[in-house]
Structure 1
Amino acid sequence: MTSEESLGPVPLRKDRTTVLGYPRGDLLTVLIGMPILGLLLGIALPPLARWLGDLPVLPWRDGIALVGSLDRPWHTAIAVGLGLVVGLLIAGTDYDETLKVTLTDQELVADLHERKRSIERARVSAVFLDGKELVVLDESSREFTRGVHKTAARALARALRSHGYPWQEADPHAALFHRWIPGAPGLPAEAHAVLVARKAALKNKAADDVRDLAETMQGLGYVVRDEGKDQYWRPLAVGTDERGGAARD
Protein backbone atom coordinates (compact mmCIF):
# COMPACT_ATOMS: atom_id res chain seq x y z
CA MET A 1 0.00 0.00 0.00
CA THR A 2 1.38 3.36 -0.99
CA SER A 3 0.49 6.64 0.63
CA GLU A 4 -1.06 7.72 -2.65
CA GLU A 5 -3.51 4.80 -2.63
CA SER A 6 -4.80 5.81 0.78
CA LEU A 7 -5.57 9.32 -0.33
CA GLY A 8 -8.12 8.57 -3.08
CA PRO A 9 -7.76 10.72 -6.23
CA VAL A 10 -4.37 12.40 -5.96
CA PRO A 11 -3.22 14.24 -9.09
CA LEU A 12 0.56 14.41 -9.28
CA ARG A 13 1.14 17.29 -11.65
CA LYS A 14 4.68 16.45 -12.66
CA ASP A 15 3.97 13.16 -14.43
CA ARG A 16 0.17 13.48 -14.74
CA THR A 17 -0.53 10.41 -12.63
CA THR A 18 -3.68 9.95 -10.57
CA VAL A 19 -4.12 7.13 -8.08
CA LEU A 20 -7.69 6.12 -7.30
CA GLY A 21 -7.29 3.98 -4.25
CA TYR A 22 -8.77 3.57 -0.81
CA PRO A 23 -10.00 6.98 0.46
CA ARG A 24 -8.14 8.03 3.60
CA GLY A 25 -11.29 8.34 5.70
CA ASP A 26 -12.47 4.82 4.78
CA LEU A 27 -8.99 3.41 5.28
CA LEU A 28 -8.71 4.90 8.78
CA THR A 29 -12.20 3.66 9.63
CA VAL A 30 -11.34 0.12 8.58
CA LEU A 31 -7.78 -0.10 9.90
CA ILE A 32 -8.56 1.60 13.21
CA GLY A 33 -12.29 1.05 13.65
CA MET A 34 -12.39 -2.69 13.01
CA PRO A 35 -9.62 -3.56 15.50
CA ILE A 36 -11.28 -1.29 18.10
CA LEU A 37 -14.59 -3.06 17.44
CA GLY A 38 -12.82 -6.39 17.89
CA LEU A 39 -11.28 -5.10 21.12
CA LEU A 40 -14.66 -4.02 22.47
CA LEU A 41 -16.24 -7.34 21.52
CA GLY A 42 -13.43 -9.19 23.27
CA ILE A 43 -14.16 -7.24 26.46
CA ALA A 44 -17.97 -7.29 26.21
CA LEU A 45 -18.72 -10.84 25.07
CA PRO A 46 -18.05 -12.76 28.33
CA PRO A 47 -20.36 -10.63 30.54
CA LEU A 48 -22.95 -10.56 27.75
CA ALA A 49 -22.79 -14.36 27.50
CA ARG A 50 -23.26 -14.68 31.29
CA TRP A 51 -26.33 -12.44 31.09
CA LEU A 52 -27.76 -14.46 28.20
CA GLY A 53 -27.10 -17.67 30.11
CA ASP A 54 -29.83 -16.71 32.58
CA LEU A 55 -32.53 -16.71 29.90
CA PRO A 56 -34.91 -19.71 30.12
CA VAL A 57 -34.96 -20.50 26.38
CA LEU A 58 -31.60 -20.17 24.64
CA PRO A 59 -30.10 -21.85 21.57
CA TRP A 60 -26.41 -22.86 21.60
CA ARG A 61 -26.51 -22.73 25.42
CA ASP A 62 -23.29 -24.75 25.86
CA GLY A 63 -21.27 -22.47 23.60
CA ILE A 64 -22.61 -19.33 25.24
CA ALA A 65 -21.92 -20.78 28.68
CA LEU A 66 -18.31 -21.44 27.62
CA VAL A 67 -17.88 -17.82 26.51
CA GLY A 68 -19.46 -16.64 29.76
CA SER A 69 -16.99 -18.67 31.81
CA LEU A 70 -14.07 -16.62 30.46
CA ASP A 71 -14.00 -14.26 33.46
CA ARG A 72 -10.37 -14.42 34.53
CA PRO A 73 -7.94 -11.64 33.53
CA TRP A 74 -5.96 -13.89 31.21
CA HIS A 75 -9.21 -15.09 29.61
CA THR A 76 -10.14 -11.48 28.95
CA ALA A 77 -6.68 -10.79 27.51
CA ILE A 78 -7.05 -13.72 25.10
CA ALA A 79 -10.53 -12.59 24.06
CA VAL A 80 -9.29 -9.05 23.47
CA GLY A 81 -6.34 -10.37 21.45
CA LEU A 82 -8.60 -12.53 19.32
CA GLY A 83 -10.91 -9.58 18.77
CA LEU A 84 -8.02 -7.45 17.59
CA VAL A 85 -6.77 -10.18 15.24
CA VAL A 86 -10.24 -10.70 13.75
CA GLY A 87 -10.64 -6.95 13.29
CA LEU A 88 -7.30 -6.68 11.50
CA LEU A 89 -8.12 -9.65 9.28
CA ILE A 90 -11.43 -8.10 8.29
CA ALA A 91 -9.70 -4.78 7.58
CA GLY A 92 -7.01 -6.46 5.48
CA THR A 93 -9.56 -8.47 3.50
CA ASP A 94 -11.63 -5.36 2.79
CA TYR A 95 -8.54 -3.54 1.51
CA ASP A 96 -7.45 -6.49 -0.63
CA GLU A 97 -10.92 -6.83 -2.19
CA THR A 98 -10.95 -3.17 -3.25
CA LEU A 99 -10.00 -2.25 -6.82
CA LYS A 100 -7.19 0.31 -7.09
CA VAL A 101 -6.71 2.25 -10.32
CA THR A 102 -3.73 4.31 -11.51
CA LEU A 103 -4.32 6.74 -14.38
CA THR A 104 -2.02 8.53 -16.77
CA ASP A 105 -2.82 10.20 -20.07
CA GLN A 106 -1.47 7.07 -21.80
CA GLU A 107 -2.78 4.08 -19.81
CA LEU A 108 -4.98 2.79 -17.01
CA VAL A 109 -3.54 0.26 -14.54
CA ALA A 110 -5.95 -1.85 -12.48
CA ASP A 111 -4.72 -3.52 -9.28
CA LEU A 112 -7.01 -6.15 -7.82
CA HIS A 113 -6.05 -9.11 -5.61
CA GLU A 114 -2.37 -8.15 -6.03
CA ARG A 115 -2.60 -8.54 -9.81
CA LYS A 116 -1.84 -5.53 -11.98
CA ARG A 117 -3.10 -5.19 -15.53
CA SER A 118 -2.79 -2.24 -17.88
CA ILE A 119 -4.74 -1.01 -20.88
CA GLU A 120 -3.99 1.87 -23.23
CA ARG A 121 -6.30 4.85 -22.89
CA ALA A 122 -7.18 4.66 -26.60
CA ARG A 123 -8.56 1.14 -26.04
CA VAL A 124 -10.94 2.13 -23.22
CA SER A 125 -14.48 2.57 -24.54
CA ALA A 126 -16.29 3.28 -21.25
CA VAL A 127 -15.78 3.57 -17.49
CA PHE A 128 -18.77 3.56 -15.14
CA LEU A 129 -20.07 2.45 -11.76
CA ASP A 130 -22.31 -0.60 -11.54
CA GLY A 131 -23.59 -0.33 -8.00
CA LYS A 132 -20.44 -0.30 -5.85
CA GLU A 133 -18.26 -1.79 -8.60
CA LEU A 134 -16.11 0.18 -11.01
CA VAL A 135 -16.19 -1.25 -14.53
CA VAL A 136 -13.77 -0.53 -17.37
CA LEU A 137 -14.71 -1.67 -20.89
CA ASP A 138 -12.29 -2.10 -23.76
CA GLU A 139 -12.91 -1.31 -27.43
CA SER A 140 -14.84 -4.55 -27.99
CA SER A 141 -17.03 -3.84 -24.90
CA ARG A 142 -15.29 -6.60 -22.90
CA GLU A 143 -14.95 -5.94 -19.19
CA PHE A 144 -11.25 -5.19 -18.79
CA THR A 145 -11.76 -4.96 -15.04
CA ARG A 146 -14.59 -4.93 -12.50
CA GLY A 147 -14.24 -4.52 -8.77
CA VAL A 148 -15.57 -2.82 -5.66
CA HIS A 149 -14.21 0.73 -5.51
CA LYS A 150 -14.41 3.20 -2.63
CA THR A 151 -13.94 6.59 -4.34
CA ALA A 152 -17.10 8.69 -4.71
CA ALA A 153 -18.65 8.82 -8.18
CA ARG A 154 -18.11 12.56 -8.57
CA ALA A 155 -14.40 12.28 -7.75
CA LEU A 156 -14.05 9.30 -10.09
CA ALA A 157 -15.68 11.17 -12.95
CA ARG A 158 -13.49 14.24 -12.42
CA ALA A 159 -10.27 12.22 -12.27
CA LEU A 160 -11.05 10.04 -15.29
CA ARG A 161 -12.22 12.90 -17.47
CA SER A 162 -9.13 14.95 -16.57
CA HIS A 163 -7.04 12.22 -18.24
CA GLY A 164 -9.37 11.86 -21.22
CA TYR A 165 -11.11 8.61 -20.26
CA PRO A 166 -14.75 8.14 -21.39
CA TRP A 167 -16.61 8.28 -18.08
CA GLN A 168 -20.26 7.23 -18.34
CA GLU A 169 -23.01 7.75 -15.79
CA ALA A 170 -24.30 4.21 -16.47
CA ASP A 171 -23.48 1.12 -18.51
CA PRO A 172 -23.87 2.17 -22.17
CA HIS A 173 -24.71 -1.45 -23.09
CA ALA A 174 -27.25 -2.08 -20.32
CA ALA A 175 -30.09 -2.59 -22.81
CA LEU A 176 -28.30 -5.59 -24.36
CA PHE A 177 -28.39 -7.74 -21.20
CA HIS A 178 -30.71 -10.74 -20.94
CA ARG A 179 -31.53 -12.72 -17.82
CA TRP A 180 -30.02 -16.16 -18.11
CA ILE A 181 -32.50 -19.02 -18.29
CA PRO A 182 -30.89 -22.47 -18.53
CA GLY A 183 -31.27 -23.91 -22.03
CA ALA A 184 -33.05 -20.84 -23.43
CA PRO A 185 -32.25 -19.95 -27.06
CA GLY A 186 -29.76 -17.20 -27.79
CA LEU A 187 -26.69 -18.82 -26.25
CA PRO A 188 -24.64 -21.79 -27.46
CA ALA A 189 -24.53 -24.93 -25.33
CA GLU A 190 -20.96 -24.16 -24.26
CA ALA A 191 -22.00 -20.79 -22.82
CA HIS A 192 -24.91 -22.39 -20.97
CA ALA A 193 -22.49 -24.91 -19.44
CA VAL A 194 -20.23 -22.09 -18.23
CA LEU A 195 -23.16 -20.26 -16.65
CA VAL A 196 -24.33 -23.46 -14.93
CA ALA A 197 -20.86 -23.82 -13.40
CA ARG A 198 -20.78 -20.14 -12.49
CA LYS A 199 -24.17 -20.39 -10.77
CA ALA A 200 -22.76 -23.17 -8.59
CA ALA A 201 -19.67 -21.07 -7.85
CA LEU A 202 -21.86 -18.14 -6.83
CA LYS A 203 -23.87 -20.40 -4.52
CA ASN A 204 -20.66 -21.70 -2.94
CA LYS A 205 -19.23 -18.16 -2.70
CA ALA A 206 -16.16 -19.24 -4.68
CA ALA A 207 -15.13 -15.74 -5.76
CA ASP A 208 -12.08 -16.80 -7.77
CA ASP A 209 -14.12 -19.33 -9.77
CA VAL A 210 -16.85 -16.75 -10.34
CA ARG A 211 -14.32 -14.31 -11.83
CA ASP A 212 -12.57 -16.99 -13.90
CA LEU A 213 -15.84 -18.22 -15.38
CA ALA A 214 -16.84 -14.65 -16.25
CA GLU A 215 -13.55 -14.40 -18.17
CA THR A 216 -14.36 -17.69 -19.90
CA MET A 217 -17.71 -16.25 -21.01
CA GLN A 218 -15.93 -13.22 -22.45
CA GLY A 219 -13.68 -15.58 -24.39
CA LEU A 220 -16.85 -17.04 -25.90
CA GLY A 221 -18.03 -13.56 -26.84
CA TYR A 222 -20.36 -12.70 -23.96
CA VAL A 223 -20.26 -10.42 -20.92
CA VAL A 224 -21.94 -11.65 -17.74
CA ARG A 225 -23.06 -9.70 -14.68
CA ASP A 226 -25.10 -10.46 -11.58
CA GLU A 227 -28.25 -8.96 -10.13
CA GLY A 228 -29.17 -10.59 -6.84
CA LYS A 229 -29.15 -14.35 -7.45
CA ASP A 230 -29.66 -14.00 -11.20
CA GLN A 231 -27.03 -13.94 -13.94
CA TYR A 232 -27.42 -11.64 -16.92
CA TRP A 233 -25.53 -11.87 -20.22
CA ARG A 234 -25.00 -9.82 -23.35
CA PRO A 235 -23.01 -10.31 -26.54
CA LEU A 236 -19.91 -8.22 -27.11
CA ALA A 237 -20.97 -5.00 -28.78
CA VAL A 238 -18.06 -4.89 -31.26
CA GLY A 239 -16.79 -8.33 -32.21
CA THR A 240 -14.55 -10.41 -29.97
CA ASP A 241 -11.13 -9.20 -28.89
CA GLU A 242 -8.92 -11.67 -27.02
CA ARG A 243 -6.10 -9.31 -26.20
CA GLY A 244 -7.41 -8.02 -22.88
CA GLY A 245 -5.02 -6.01 -20.71
CA ALA A 246 -1.30 -6.62 -20.66
CA ALA A 247 -0.33 -8.39 -17.46
CA ARG A 248 2.36 -6.72 -15.44
CA ASP A 249 4.35 -7.89 -12.44
Structure 2
Amino acid sequence: MEAFDWQRIFFHKFPLAFLAEVTLRVAIAYVLVFLFLKVAGRRGIRQLSVFELVIILTLGSAAGDVTFYEDVPIAPVATVFAALLLLYRTTTYVMGRSSRIAAWMDGVPITLIREGRYEIENLSRLNISEDEFFMELRQQGVEHLGQVKMGILEIDGDVSLFFYEDDLVQAGLSVMPPEHRQDFTRVPDDGLYACNHCGHTHVLKAQQEFSCSHCSHESWSRALANRRAR
Protein backbone atom coordinates (compact mmCIF):
# COMPACT_ATOMS: atom_id res chain seq x y z
CA MET A 1 0.00 0.00 0.00
CA GLU A 2 1.29 3.43 -0.89
CA ALA A 3 0.99 6.22 1.66
CA PHE A 4 -0.87 9.38 0.58
CA ASP A 5 -2.42 7.62 -2.38
CA TRP A 6 -5.05 10.25 -3.19
CA GLN A 7 -6.94 7.93 -5.52
CA ARG A 8 -7.29 5.41 -2.67
CA ILE A 9 -8.06 8.08 -0.05
CA PHE A 10 -10.83 9.80 -2.02
CA PHE A 11 -12.25 7.15 -4.33
CA HIS A 12 -10.85 3.74 -3.32
CA LYS A 13 -12.31 1.37 -5.97
CA PHE A 14 -15.47 3.36 -6.72
CA PRO A 15 -16.10 4.90 -10.11
CA LEU A 16 -17.08 8.56 -10.21
CA ALA A 17 -20.61 7.58 -11.23
CA PHE A 18 -21.10 6.00 -7.78
CA LEU A 19 -21.05 9.50 -6.28
CA ALA A 20 -24.27 10.22 -8.16
CA GLU A 21 -25.78 7.08 -6.64
CA VAL A 22 -24.64 8.23 -3.18
CA THR A 23 -26.44 11.52 -3.79
CA LEU A 24 -29.63 9.63 -4.63
CA ARG A 25 -29.24 7.39 -1.57
CA VAL A 26 -28.78 10.43 0.69
CA ALA A 27 -31.93 12.02 -0.75
CA ILE A 28 -33.93 8.85 -0.13
CA ALA A 29 -32.58 8.48 3.44
CA TYR A 30 -33.35 12.15 4.06
CA VAL A 31 -36.95 11.68 2.94
CA LEU A 32 -37.36 8.51 5.03
CA VAL A 33 -36.08 10.22 8.21
CA PHE A 34 -38.24 13.28 7.54
CA LEU A 35 -41.36 11.17 7.01
CA PHE A 36 -40.64 9.13 10.14
CA LEU A 37 -40.30 12.24 12.32
CA LYS A 38 -43.35 13.81 10.70
CA VAL A 39 -45.55 10.76 11.30
CA ALA A 40 -44.14 10.20 14.81
CA GLY A 41 -44.95 13.80 15.77
CA ARG A 42 -41.48 14.63 17.03
CA ARG A 43 -40.82 17.20 19.70
CA GLY A 44 -37.76 19.38 20.12
CA ILE A 45 -34.37 17.70 20.56
CA ARG A 46 -34.10 18.80 24.23
CA GLN A 47 -37.41 17.04 24.87
CA LEU A 48 -36.29 13.57 23.81
CA SER A 49 -36.83 10.76 26.28
CA VAL A 50 -34.29 7.93 26.58
CA PHE A 51 -36.49 5.65 24.45
CA GLU A 52 -36.92 8.31 21.76
CA LEU A 53 -33.18 8.99 21.73
CA VAL A 54 -32.56 5.28 21.06
CA ILE A 55 -35.02 5.45 18.15
CA ILE A 56 -33.27 8.52 16.69
CA LEU A 57 -29.82 6.93 17.00
CA THR A 58 -31.07 3.75 15.33
CA LEU A 59 -32.55 5.83 12.52
CA GLY A 60 -29.25 7.62 12.08
CA SER A 61 -27.35 4.34 11.86
CA ALA A 62 -29.75 2.89 9.27
CA ALA A 63 -29.80 6.09 7.23
CA GLY A 64 -26.01 6.40 7.36
CA ASP A 65 -25.36 2.84 6.19
CA VAL A 66 -27.58 3.11 3.15
CA THR A 67 -26.07 6.38 1.95
CA PHE A 68 -22.52 5.29 1.14
CA TYR A 69 -22.23 1.48 1.33
CA GLU A 70 -22.75 0.17 -2.19
CA ASP A 71 -23.79 -3.29 -0.95
CA VAL A 72 -26.59 -2.01 1.32
CA PRO A 73 -29.92 -2.05 -0.58
CA ILE A 74 -32.59 0.52 0.22
CA ALA A 75 -35.57 -1.83 0.70
CA PRO A 76 -34.31 -3.42 3.99
CA VAL A 77 -33.51 0.03 5.35
CA ALA A 78 -37.04 1.21 4.54
CA THR A 79 -38.28 -1.88 6.41
CA VAL A 80 -36.16 -0.85 9.41
CA PHE A 81 -37.85 2.55 9.38
CA ALA A 82 -41.32 1.00 9.15
CA ALA A 83 -40.55 -1.44 12.00
CA LEU A 84 -39.20 1.38 14.18
CA LEU A 85 -42.28 3.46 13.53
CA LEU A 86 -44.51 0.53 14.51
CA LEU A 87 -42.43 -0.06 17.65
CA TYR A 88 -42.57 3.63 18.52
CA ARG A 89 -46.33 3.85 18.02
CA THR A 90 -46.92 0.67 20.06
CA THR A 91 -44.71 1.84 22.90
CA THR A 92 -46.30 5.29 23.11
CA TYR A 93 -49.76 3.66 23.08
CA VAL A 94 -48.83 1.35 25.97
CA MET A 95 -47.28 4.27 27.86
CA GLY A 96 -50.49 6.24 27.39
CA ARG A 97 -52.50 3.39 28.94
CA SER A 98 -50.16 2.71 31.87
CA SER A 99 -48.69 5.45 34.05
CA ARG A 100 -46.33 2.92 35.66
CA ILE A 101 -44.82 1.91 32.31
CA ALA A 102 -44.66 5.57 31.25
CA ALA A 103 -42.77 6.46 34.42
CA TRP A 104 -40.36 3.55 33.88
CA MET A 105 -39.73 4.48 30.23
CA ASP A 106 -39.64 8.27 30.47
CA GLY A 107 -38.75 8.76 34.13
CA VAL A 108 -40.48 11.19 36.48
CA PRO A 109 -39.77 14.81 37.44
CA ILE A 110 -37.39 15.06 40.40
CA THR A 111 -37.36 17.92 42.91
CA LEU A 112 -33.79 19.19 43.37
CA ILE A 113 -34.36 22.44 45.29
CA ARG A 114 -37.05 23.08 47.86
CA GLU A 115 -37.38 26.38 49.73
CA GLY A 116 -33.86 27.51 48.94
CA ARG A 117 -32.15 24.26 49.90
CA TYR A 118 -31.01 21.15 48.06
CA GLU A 119 -32.98 17.95 48.22
CA ILE A 120 -29.81 15.97 48.98
CA GLU A 121 -31.22 12.47 48.53
CA ASN A 122 -32.58 13.32 45.08
CA LEU A 123 -29.47 15.19 43.97
CA SER A 124 -27.04 12.49 45.12
CA ARG A 125 -28.67 9.74 43.02
CA LEU A 126 -28.46 11.72 39.80
CA ASN A 127 -25.47 11.68 37.49
CA ILE A 128 -24.98 15.45 37.60
CA SER A 129 -22.01 17.39 38.95
CA GLU A 130 -22.31 20.47 41.16
CA ASP A 131 -20.54 22.61 38.54
CA GLU A 132 -22.93 21.46 35.82
CA PHE A 133 -25.97 22.12 38.00
CA PHE A 134 -24.68 25.54 39.09
CA MET A 135 -24.13 26.44 35.44
CA GLU A 136 -27.75 25.53 34.69
CA LEU A 137 -28.93 27.76 37.55
CA ARG A 138 -26.75 30.70 36.51
CA GLN A 139 -28.04 30.48 32.95
CA GLN A 140 -31.52 31.01 34.35
CA GLY A 141 -30.49 34.08 36.30
CA VAL A 142 -29.97 32.51 39.73
CA GLU A 143 -27.27 33.99 41.97
CA HIS A 144 -27.99 31.98 45.11
CA LEU A 145 -30.38 29.23 46.22
CA GLY A 146 -32.35 31.56 48.47
CA GLN A 147 -33.95 33.04 45.35
CA VAL A 148 -35.42 29.66 44.37
CA LYS A 149 -38.63 28.37 45.93
CA MET A 150 -38.52 25.11 44.00
CA GLY A 151 -36.33 23.54 41.31
CA ILE A 152 -37.49 20.47 39.39
CA LEU A 153 -35.48 18.31 36.99
CA GLU A 154 -37.90 17.47 34.18
CA ILE A 155 -37.90 14.16 32.30
CA ASP A 156 -36.28 15.84 29.27
CA GLY A 157 -33.28 17.00 31.34
CA ASP A 158 -34.35 20.64 31.64
CA VAL A 159 -34.50 22.30 35.06
CA SER A 160 -37.72 24.20 35.84
CA LEU A 161 -37.30 26.92 38.45
CA PHE A 162 -39.95 28.67 40.53
CA PHE A 163 -38.72 31.85 42.21
CA TYR A 164 -39.62 33.69 45.39
CA GLU A 165 -41.10 37.15 45.11
CA ASP A 166 -38.48 39.82 45.84
CA ASP A 167 -39.76 40.50 49.36
CA LEU A 168 -39.64 36.78 50.21
CA VAL A 169 -36.11 36.02 49.00
CA GLN A 170 -34.08 34.20 51.66
CA ALA A 171 -30.35 34.07 52.30
CA GLY A 172 -28.86 31.14 50.45
CA LEU A 173 -25.87 29.33 48.99
CA SER A 174 -24.05 31.14 46.19
CA VAL A 175 -23.99 29.33 42.83
CA MET A 176 -21.08 31.40 41.54
CA PRO A 177 -17.89 29.74 40.19
CA PRO A 178 -15.00 29.14 42.65
CA GLU A 179 -13.26 32.41 41.78
CA HIS A 180 -16.37 34.29 42.92
CA ARG A 181 -17.13 32.21 46.03
CA GLN A 182 -14.79 31.49 48.91
CA ASP A 183 -15.26 28.22 50.78
CA PHE A 184 -14.24 27.72 54.41
CA THR A 185 -14.01 24.96 56.97
CA ARG A 186 -13.13 27.58 59.62
CA VAL A 187 -15.11 30.75 58.93
CA PRO A 188 -13.09 34.03 59.10
CA ASP A 189 -15.76 36.36 60.52
CA ASP A 190 -19.06 36.39 62.36
CA GLY A 191 -21.97 36.12 59.95
CA LEU A 192 -24.50 34.04 58.11
CA TYR A 193 -23.02 31.15 56.14
CA ALA A 194 -24.48 28.51 53.83
CA CYS A 195 -23.52 24.84 53.81
CA ASN A 196 -21.83 24.02 50.52
CA HIS A 197 -23.38 20.56 50.50
CA CYS A 198 -27.08 21.22 51.14
CA GLY A 199 -27.48 25.00 51.18
CA HIS A 200 -28.76 25.17 54.76
CA THR A 201 -27.81 28.44 56.47
CA HIS A 202 -26.31 28.97 59.95
CA VAL A 203 -25.07 31.96 61.89
CA LEU A 204 -21.43 31.20 62.73
CA LYS A 205 -18.79 32.88 64.89
CA ALA A 206 -15.35 33.88 63.68
CA GLN A 207 -12.89 30.95 63.53
CA GLN A 208 -15.69 28.51 64.29
CA GLU A 209 -15.66 25.02 62.83
CA PHE A 210 -19.17 23.65 62.59
CA SER A 211 -20.98 20.61 61.20
CA CYS A 212 -24.17 21.42 59.36
CA SER A 213 -27.22 20.43 61.42
CA HIS A 214 -29.00 19.35 58.24
CA CYS A 215 -26.38 17.20 56.46
CA SER A 216 -23.35 17.09 58.85
CA HIS A 217 -20.91 18.53 56.27
CA GLU A 218 -18.34 21.14 57.32
CA SER A 219 -17.68 23.29 54.25
CA TRP A 220 -19.19 26.78 54.23
CA SER A 221 -19.45 29.92 52.12
CA ARG A 222 -20.97 33.29 52.87
CA ALA A 223 -24.74 33.26 52.39
CA LEU A 224 -26.09 35.77 49.87
CA ALA A 225 -29.44 37.54 50.15
CA ASN A 226 -29.52 39.51 46.89
CA ARG A 227 -32.77 39.81 45.02
CA ARG A 228 -32.82 38.60 41.43
CA ALA A 229 -31.63 41.07 38.82
CA ARG A 230 -34.42 41.98 36.40
| TM-score w.r.t. length of structure 1 | 0.29
The structure number with the bigger radius of gyration is 2
More strand by share: 1
| TM-score w.r.t. length of structure 2 | 0.30
